[in-house]
Homo-oligomer: A and B are copies of this chain.
């Protein structure tokens, strides 16, 4: 399972925002909506092997929204319908237990530190001055932590450093989180064995298709 964790420093924890002005009324939930699109949306379907955690911090206490590719329904690629799904999730009461909002979308109270276990060796922090991810042999079941337009705080970064998280970058330009997710997904796609005609047992898988592993 690929996991993306996106921190929304100013993102609202309440449903009191306007779908007519998402960037202006929700603390930039539009950024998180685009991250959801990048994480899950394929031309003809949803990535079932991906999950996303959104950390929303603007409110009395932080909330975490969990989107699970294998169970997601009603996900369209546009920002507005994704924001409407988040609005519904944020209308639920949130405590330390996960509550299901719509299929594949869950919410609870909690911040980044409640989510990531200490000692996860396949966690990566995406930052523009990290080492190039193409040289890192990214774990196929890795966890990728990204910040919104503000980025992560020194406290967040110290926490990730304590976990042993590797700091990686996707290229020479500083990009929005949603574009970084597209690039990470593509890199992991290229490293996967090619599976044709439905699921096969691991020992039936052929060698990696060299066309995609340059």
Contacts and interface: CB of A to CB of B under 8 A. Distances in A.
Contacts of A41: 176, 179
A214 B135 contact: yes
A126 to B, nearest CB: 12
Contacts of A78: 22-23, 30, 79
Contact of A132 (B80, B192, B214): B214
A31 B104 CA distance: 24
The copy count of this chain in the complex is 2
Interface string A162-187: 00000000111111100100110010
A44 interface: yes
A149 interface: yes
Interface string A127-151: 0100110110000000000000100
Contacts of A76: 23
Given A38-B179, A149-B43, A186-B183, A171 B212 contact: yes
